[in-house]
């Protein structure tokens, strides 16, 4: 149970961080294309 919880929290943190990076990259590529 404890391991699953810590794994879940780590996944959420990683996903959020990844999401921010993807948004940033998307914005940069959008600016370049415009």
Mean pLDDT (whole number) for 6-32? 89
First to last CA, the chain: 49
Name the pTM for this structure: 0.53
Q: Is the pLDDT of residue 32 over 70?
A: yes
Whole-number Å distance between alpha carbons of 25 and 12 = 20
Give me the chain's average pLDDT, please.
86
For 5-32, the DSSP string reads HHHHHHHHHHHHHHHHHHHHHHHHHHHH
Buried b (16+ CB within 10 A) or exposed e, 9-21: eeeeeeeeeeeee
Q: Percent of the chain scored above 70 by pLDDT?
A: 94
């Amino acid at each position: 149970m404890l391991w699953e919880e810590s794994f879940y929290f780590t996944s959420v943190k990683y996903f959020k961080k990844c999401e921010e990076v993807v948004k940033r990259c998307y914005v940069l590529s959008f600016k370049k294309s415009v």
